[in-house]
Amino acid sequence: MTTIAMRDQQLLDTAIVSSWSKIAPYWPLQNLIAVNPLAGFEHLPFEQALQQAHGYFQQRDLAAEMQTVNRHSIKWLQAFFDQGQAAISMPYRERGLLASLRLMITLDASLHRHDAEKLQWLGALSEHADEVIAEALEFLAIPVTEHGQFLTLMLTTLPGWASYVRYRTHWADSHDSGHPHQVNAAEYLAFRLILTCLVWPQAKQLLATHEQAVSSAELPSAYTTMLAREQAYRVALLTQLKGAGSAHQHAPQHSRYAAQLVFCIDVRSEPLRRAIEQQGNYQTFGFAGFFGLPVAIENAVTGASHASCPVLLKPNHKVVESPVGSLQNCRKAHQRGQTLKKLYQSLKYNFTTPFVLADAMGVGHGVWMGLRSLVPATAGALTTRVQSALGQHQQLHPNSAVIALPQRINYAASALRMMGLTEQFAPWVVLCGHGSTTTNNIHATALDCGACGGRHGAPNARILAAILNDGEVRAGLAAEGIEIPSDTTFVAAEHNTTTDQVELFSSPANSQQQAQLAVIKRDLRKASEQNSDWRAAQLGLTARGAEAHRATALRAQHWAEVRPEWGLARNAAFIVGPRAWTQDIDLDGRAFLHSYEWQSDGDGSALTTILTAPMVVGQWINAHYLFATLDNVAFGGGSKVTANITGKIGVMQGNGSDLMHGLPLQSVYASDQQSYHEPMRLLVVVRAPQARLNAIIAQQPILQKLFGNGWITMVCCDPQLQQYFTLQRDLTWCATD
Amino acid sequence: MMGIEQLFHHDVLSSVMMVLIGFVALCIAVFAWRYLAGDRGKGAFYGYLLIVVVCLFVLVMADHMAVLLGAIAGANFGLVRLLGHNRQWPAAQQSARLAWRNFTLGWLLLCAALLILYGASGESSIQAMLDSDIASGSLWLSSSLIVLAAMTQSALWPFHKWLSNSLNAPTPVSAIMHAGLVNGGGFLLARFAPLLSEQPLLLTAIFVIGIVSAILATLWKLIQSNIKQMLAYSTMGQMGFMIAQCGLGLLPAAIAHIFWHGLFKAYLFLSSGSAAKEPRLSLHYPPSALQFLLALTAGVSAAVIFAATTHKSVFAGDTTLFLLVITVIAGTQVALPLMQANKRLTKPLAFTLTASLAFVYGLSVSFIEHTLAPLAMSHPQPLNIIHISALVVMTTTWMWIIFAHKSAPEQVPKWQLKAYVALLNSSQPQASTMTAHRNHYQV
């Protein structure tokens, strides 16, 4: 290669990278992860990011020719990325996106209309994506200085699909479902460019239109409303914290707690924690719901596996969960179910046979439709029974021994230290993950545990409980100064956020333990009923008491339910500190709570982890809800009422549209007109010395970016100075009254 | 003055249709109460749903031609308003417009047909028209027009565009449409059956129209990668099959198909939110020759059981044989995964399961046939070469999936690639009903 060619190549590579940097990833329906749709603009001050976003994503109109390009893109992308909807899928997908689609495009007369010139141009294109991009940019006469910008527009004019590709190229995990059909960042751009060249040779105009759009973009009026709302919330919360903090500072616990319960930092844990604390002598903690374990989980029965840790981490271990009963029986039951499903699918996805299927299955489908609509609770109970017969709902236990002993000790120690539970262990320590149960819900996984990669949290809880109950691990912990009394047992549990139930996974050894556990279970039941009451009100129901419990449980089973639960809507704050500090405050289910004891974290390493991992995830969630509420079309999924699942990976609206990434309307709006979520940026309150925070921020560029550009408001409650400080955008502190 | 009872004619056909419409509408009304919570168009949805259901009830009981025409127009108007449920969304309005144009065409065709019959018989009552002697020219013309009208209503090729472009509608609207209005074509053919049953040539034409739609729609269906488009083409195929049954002179079987398919498809639409949770399982094709032959044996026994439960003769040599061959195919398909499972008990299980499904299938069909028996609508036709050719095509395409289709072949013949692209393009929604710019979608 000549130097000039090399320089051009470098310039082009830079342009490709910079264009993709504007695009946030979009996870598929199997594990919807909350992300900031404007993650690519976090290097800008929040207000500027809003303006840029308006220019890129919120334009009312798009050139008609570019819409044609989009229609063809949508057609081919659906066909290429389909994960099992079509029975006859697009040929040659295993050759990768560009190779296969280029072949399809040359056969697609609706694109080239048999125009000899266009066909010749197509035939002459280079093989490599980079070269195709260069050739196409030249064909469209895009000036070199505008390459990056034009490529960006190729992505942002069909943002949903670009986000999905971004997920595939940068985030998709090998532990999640396999992706046999390869795509890379340059290939996708090349594909979009080829279509553009064929349909709209004058596409250069996009640049001018965009420039105009950006220059005329103003801050949305919602921004002013948001500022006022943030201010009011901040003042109210800090007032509450100041009042509560002084009361609790010198009230150490003398008697031993009956149980300590560790919940996920998720905002849905907070009202349940408050409820269980009121039932008796219980202490609760907040910790990331994956319990610090970077693992992938494999189900021994189904063979399915998934990464069960935050997407920022890669799993280091693969833990297999097997049923407590006979594995072979469960496998058989599972096989039976699979054969029946195969039978049904084989009839449905062939020629001729569906005509008989409809007649033979009509009565069954009719009866089932009637049951599910008219007596949904009965239908739900029946479903559970069938699932149990097919070997689901079996209690599982993990083979945590695949993790080497020193590693297990290490995970156990750092988890306990980070949650601030290193002494005064209760006889029972419940590690409670969470997950949701919904029926016929496209966006079901958006309600599951984000810290577990958009999955249920029980497996991680079971693994950590097994590790902490292990004698060798306890000996190792003792050597590190963490003495766990021999009568302390760790129990895994899962909080069902849709029904409020908490299920304990345990088999107590003796009758005394049984009696103790029965009390804990009873109190958890009371707490969950109390929580149902509160949630029923949030859902706009008038039912209270047992009726509220039934009403929320029904939402989990009803196949027409579009708002089974509110998920993390109305999230507003992220509080890092001891529970004693916040225990007497009703935080209204709006706060992520991370336990932290500054005295036991001398070097600040635990706080560094909290701020750079769970807090960042909290900010993703916060921005995910914020933007889906501000503009549910550009940054959300639109109404569930007209949603159409494509390729089993995402949704479109109706006949065909961009991939609608983001939360659907019903997740953040109580009605078409009335939002439920209150869009506001995350308020982080940390109880730690200001100097320690300064040291951490100075070392962490990501924190400087988020705090300095106003994506997060940081407040420090300095326990030594006994004063509150707010971090300003220049990263200096300002005392708060 | 005419008494109100003279405007209507109630028979078992009306009852069967009313049971279907009433039950599906009830389920959908209950479903939508939750599903449309907070939707600004909820009130309008129930209003138009009521219009559709009332009009359909009137339609299936109508005897006076004006009542029939009025009811069809009313039901289709209600449906069009439901299709355009989201008034802020241009693509949804375009879908509604497309459907309205199609229905207007169908309505005009039906108007013309009825006016010709009125002119020829001097009767405005449909039952009276059917009883009168009508000159063969008028008979031929009016029945052809009725067939065309039926094709527009039941979304047969080339009048299928309104259906495949209708997915901008709320899910419950799709459900009522695929269980209700789309069946209108079959109902029309059943109502005017006495006119059609005397014209073998026309019946064969109806059969061809139905089969072409059935095969084309199945091809389209199998290549769709979004759930709702797949269901829409599936309905189009089922309607093709149903109309083909009409063409075979097997009207009771066609009505049975309307009834059971209606329940089947309404359910599938309402549960379409679960599509992402149902992974496609590998079917391990092709099976060995022995597995296939065993499955085929089970399929033949299924056909025997079906024939016995529906009182059809295996050796009739008429068009009932068509249904029996289809049953052999379906029975074989049911048995195949079990034959392939290769476990000790699966082979006897395959026979038992196939037999029981054939029995359920037979019962379902014969239940409707039995109910409709007083109308004496069954007129099996002698088998002809066209029927047999259709069977050959239906069998070959089915076996192609089992034996020849590979999910990721190394080489694909050029003609197959071209066919794939052509089918994909011809099954795309019309440009105006797609949302090519995201922000054109509005809540």
A280 within domain boundaries: no
Instruction: Encode pLDDT of A17-57 as tens digits.
Output: 999 999 999 999 999 999 999 999 999 999 999 999 999 99
A229 and A109 belong to one structural domain: no
Residue among A352, A366, A658 whose CB faces B326 most closely: A352
A495 within domain boundaries: no
CA dihedral A260→A264→A267→A270, nearest 10 degrees, is -10
Determine the Cα–Cα distance for residues B437 and A210; give it in Å rounded to an integer.
Answer: 15
Task: Give the contacts of B51 (CB within 8 A, at least 6 positions apart).
Answer: B74, B75, B77, B78, B81
Task: Report the b/e string of B285-301 with b at 16+ CB within 10 A.
Answer: ebbeeebbebbbbbbbb
What integer pLDDT is reported at residue A543 of this predicted model?
Answer: 87
B236 within domain boundaries: no
pTM: 0.95
Evaluate the CA torsion angle A211, A215, A217, A219 in order and state its sign.
positive
Contacts of A660 in chain B (CB under 8 A): 438, 441
Residue A425 confidence (pLDDT) above 90: yes
Evaluate the CA torsion angle A377, A381, A384, A390 in order and state its sign.
negative
Lowest mean pLDDT among A194-198, A350-354, B165-169: A350-354
B184 and B325 belong to one structural domain: no
pLDDT confidence bin for A246, thresholds 50/70/90? low
Nearest-10 crossing angle of helices A147-156, A3-20: 30
A226 and A210 belong to one structural domain: no
A283 within domain boundaries: no
A23 and A113 belong to one structural domain: yes
Both tokens of residue A451? Answer: 């810290």
- Cβ of B276 within 8 Å of Cβ of A649? The answer is yes
Instruction: Encode pLDDT of A84-125 as tens digits.
Output: 999 999 999 999 999 999 999 999 999 999 999 999 999 999
A98 and A243 belong to one structural domain: no
- Cβ of A440 within 8 Å of Cβ of B333? The answer is no
Determine the Cα–Cα distance for residues A494 and B435; give it in Å rounded to an integer.
Answer: 41
A235 and A211 belong to one structural domain: no
In a mutational test of the B interface, the residue from A65, A655, A657, A668 whose CB has the highest number of chain B CBs within 10 Å is A655
pLDDT confidence bin for A255, thresholds 50/70/90? confident
Instruction: Encode pLDDT of A382-423 as tens digits.
Output: 999 998 888 777 889 999 999 999 999 999 999 999 988 999
B25 and B135 belong to one structural domain: yes
B94 within domain boundaries: yes
Query: What number of CA atoms fall less than 13 Å from residue A308's CA on the CB side?
Result: 31
- Cβ of B361 within 8 Å of Cβ of A562? The answer is no
pLDDT tens for chain B, residues 1 to 443: 457 778 999 899 999 999 999 999 999 999 999 999 999 999 999 999 999 999 999 999 999 999 999 999 999 999 999 999 999 999 999 999 999 999 999 999 999 999 999 999 999 999 999 999 888 899 999 999 999 999 999 999 999 999 999 999 999 999 999 998 899 999 999 999 999 988 999 999 999 999 999 999 999 999 999 999 999 999 999 999 999 999 999 999 999 999 999 999 999 999 999 999 988 888 888 999 999 999 999 999 999 999 999 888 877 788 999 999 999 999 999 999 889 887 778 888 899 999 999 999 899 888 998 999 888 888 899 999 999 999 999 999 999 999 988 877 889 999 999 999 999 999 999 999 999 999 999 98
B83 within domain boundaries: yes
B175 within domain boundaries: yes
Residue A712's closest CA among A674, A691, A735, A684?
A684
Residue A195 confidence (pLDDT) above 80: yes
Residue where a domain stops, chosen among A191, A216, A241: A216
DSSP string, A584-619: TS--TT-EEEE---GGG-TTSHHHHHHHHTHHHHHH
A114 and A232 belong to one structural domain: no
Phi then psi for residue A383, to 5 deg, are -60, -45
Mean pLDDT for chain B? Answer: 93
Burial of B383 (0-12, 13-18, 19+ CB in 10 A): middle
Determine the Cα–Cα distance for residues A231 and A233; give it in Å rounded to an integer.
Answer: 5
Lowest mean pLDDT among A244-248, A312-316, A683-687: A244-248
A331 within domain boundaries: yes
Instruction: Encode pLDDT of A493-511 as tens digits.
Output: 999 999 999 999 987 678 8
Residue A245 confidence (pLDDT) above 80: no
Task: Give the contacts of A597 (CB within 8 A, at least 6 positions apart).
Answer: A420, A578
Burial of A732 (0-12, 13-18, 19+ CB in 10 A): exposed
Any bridge partners for residue A734, and if so which?
A: A726
Residue A127 confidence (pLDDT) above 60: yes
A235 within domain boundaries: yes
B178 and B295 belong to one structural domain: no
What integer pLDDT is reported at residue B344 of this predicted model?
Answer: 76
A428 within domain boundaries: no
For residue B338, what are the domain limits? Answer: 289-426
A245 and A354 belong to one structural domain: no
B188 and B313 belong to one structural domain: no
Q: Are B345 and B286 in contact (CB under 8 A)?
A: no
Distance to chain B for A417, nearest Cα, Å: 38
Task: Tell me the residue type at A556.
Answer: A
- Cβ of A562 within 8 Å of Cβ of B257? The answer is no
Residue A101, H or E segment: helix A97-107
B330 within domain boundaries: yes
- Cβ of A358 within 8 Å of Cβ of B272? The answer is no
B192 and B309 belong to one structural domain: no
β-strand pairing of A723-727 with A733-736: antiparallel
A188 within domain boundaries: yes
| A5 vs B136, more confident | B136
Q: Are A589 and A267 in contact (CB under 8 A)?
A: yes
Determine the Cα–Cα distance for residues A291 and A459; give it in Å rounded to an integer.
Answer: 10
DSSP string, B345-366: THHHHHHHHHHHHHHHHHHHHH
Instruction: Encode pLDDT of A551-597 as tens digits.
Output: 999 999 999 999 999 999 999 999 999 999 999 999 999 999 999 99
Contacts of A30 in chain B (CB under 8 A): 276
- Specify whether the backbone of A27 is left (phi greater than 0), alpha (psi in -120 to 50) or beta: beta
DSSP secondary structure letter of residue B334:
H
DSSP string, A285-326: EEE-TTTT--EEEEETTT--EEEES-TTS---EEEEEEESS-
Lowest mean pLDDT among A251-260, A271-280, A517-526: A251-260
Determine the Cα–Cα distance for residues B250 and A553; give it in Å rounded to an integer.
Answer: 48
Residue in B closest to A89 by C-alpha: B223
B17 and B166 belong to one structural domain: yes
Residue A1 confidence (pLDDT) above 60: no
Instruction: Give how many domains chain B has, as a whole number.
Output: 2
What integer pLDDT is reported at residue B375 of this predicted model?
Answer: 87
DSSP secondary structure letter of residue A445:
G
B360 within domain boundaries: yes
How many C-beta atoms lie closer than 10 Å to residue A701's C-beta? 10
Contacts of A346 in chain B (CB under 8 A): 283, 333, 336-337
Phi then psi for residue A406, to 5 deg, are -55, -40
Q: Are A103 and A94 in contact (CB under 8 A)?
A: no
B193 and B301 belong to one structural domain: no
Both tokens of residue A3? Answer: 């130097």
ipTM confidence: 0.95
- Cβ of A648 within 8 Å of Cβ of B276? The answer is yes
A543 within domain boundaries: no
Lowest mean pLDDT among A264-278, A544-558, A658-672: A544-558
* E strands in A122-276: 259-264
Burial of B131 (0-12, 13-18, 19+ CB in 10 A): exposed
B311 within domain boundaries: yes
DSSP secondary structure letter of residue B285:
P
Residue A490, H or E segment: strand A489-496
A82 and A145 belong to one structural domain: yes
Determine the Cα–Cα distance for residues A159 and B441; give it in Å rounded to an integer.
Answer: 14
Residue B236's closest CA among B12, B426, B35, B25?
B426
Region A301-311 average pLDDT: 92
Any bridge partners for residue A593, and if so which?
A: A575
pLDDT confidence bin for A250, thresholds 50/70/90? very low
B436 within domain boundaries: no
- Residue A720's CATH number: 3.40.50
A170 and A45 belong to one structural domain: yes
For residue A583, what are the domain limits? Answer: 221-249+570-630+677-737
Residue among A84, A359, A670 whose CB faces B280 most closely: A84
Residue A493, H or E segment: strand A489-496
What integer pLDDT is reported at residue B92 of this predicted model?
Answer: 97
B14 and B149 belong to one structural domain: yes
Contacts of A342 in chain B (CB under 8 A): 281, 283, 337
- Cβ of B433 within 8 Å of Cβ of A654? The answer is yes
pLDDT confidence bin for A434, thresholds 50/70/90? very high
| A174 vs B443, more confident | B443
DSSP string, B148-214: HHHHHHTT-TTS-HHHHT-TTS-HHHHHHHHHTGGGHHHHHHHHTHHHHTT-HHHHHHHHHHHHHHH
Q: What proportion of chain A, given as a percentage, has pLDDT over 90?
A: 85
Q: Are A297 and A319 in contact (CB under 8 A)?
A: yes
Determine the Cα–Cα distance for residues A63 and A69; give it in Å rounded to an integer.
Answer: 10
Distance to chain B for A62, nearest Cα, Å: 6
Determine the Cα–Cα distance for residues B403 and B409; give it in Å rounded to an integer.
Answer: 13
Residue A480 confidence (pLDDT) above 70: yes
A245 and A191 belong to one structural domain: no
DSSP secondary structure letter of residue B381:
P
Instruction: Give how many domains chain A has, as a whole number.
Output: 3
Distance to chain A for B301, nearest Cα, Å: 15
What integer pLDDT is reported at residue A119 of this predicted model?
Answer: 95
Contacts of B405 in chain A (CB under 8 A): 88
Instruction: Encode pLDDT of B95-120 as tens digits.
Output: 999 999 999 999 999 999 999 999 99
Task: Tell me the residue type at B260.
Answer: W
What integer pLDDT is reported at residue A540 of this predicted model?
Answer: 92
pLDDT confidence bin for A177, thresholds 50/70/90? low
Q: How far apart are the two ends of chain B, measured CA to CA in Å?
A: 50
A227 and A210 belong to one structural domain: no
What integer pLDDT is reported at residue B176 of this predicted model?
Answer: 94
Task: Tell me the residue type at A289.
Answer: G
A93 and A8 belong to one structural domain: yes
Region A363-386 average pLDDT: 94
Residue A725, H or E segment: strand A723-727
Determine the Cα–Cα distance for residues B150 and B196; give it in Å rounded to an integer.
Answer: 13
Residue among B263, B425, B441 whose CB faces A657 most closely: B441
Residue B20's closest CA among A473, A714, A362?
A362
